[in-house]
Structure 1
């Protein structure tokens, strides 16, 4: 499970900043052994059809020193295509989000591996507005592992995010 709290705002008309923290809870294994924390800042040029972003993530093990502590940097692009007046049942999908990211690992998660380009991720998501402040976002992801820096497997995985905005 991933728990995330963040603040998002604009520095100027075209630059969006997201600052926050993430907590990874591996529920099948004792949380005192594998849980992990990250603090992050993501900067996005948001008023473009293909919005580039760069994110800086500093991670550290929460329960033990078995995992690495250090930086990961995310370089990527995002494209959001809104749906016009589409609803299904009583829910309203607001559009489709496509995202591609290239990750550099400076030591996070894997303490005995040299820093380097670790993996690329590709995501397709459909945010669904459940209410004015609550949304549900199913995602389909693919990870291509460049080197054995975090995970050596190329793999498909799904994610579901529930988001509440104050």
Structure 2
């Protein structure tokens, strides 16, 4: 199973758009995970219309219409792996261990908010992953998204540079 992973799209904002390379990978995936901060319901609708099932959480800057449609946190079952999702992961110190405690039944947790790509693995195969942002890099070196390959319940994350 191939999963496209996105966060922090922050649209609309000026003339920014989701890069075609990101949209193409999302369309080709078996599922899409979005870790929040769509901002506007039109951006949520865009990702829902791409084809694969969208699993998403709301972020701290999402408007009321987005918040009404999405939970703050969730767990999804994909390819035999349980994946937790949340926008704000809390402080960097002990982040992976804290997320493991929050989502004890999950093999991995996908989060956003920081705009900085991150992939941390703990013992027992548990992982946390932040795909960065395809539209607003902030302090990150470039615009990014993630892909995950899930085989027999094992998740392999990959960061994709969009610049």
TM-score band, normalised by shorter chain: under 0.3
Give the number of the structure with larger relative contact order, counting CA–CA contacts within 8 Å between residues 6 or more apart: 2
Q: TM-score, normalised by structure 1?
A: 0.27
Larger Rg: 1
Q: TM-score, normalised by structure 2?
A: 0.28
Q: Would you tell me which structure has more strand in proportion to its own residues?
A: 1
Query: Larger helix proportion, structure 1 or 2?
Result: 2
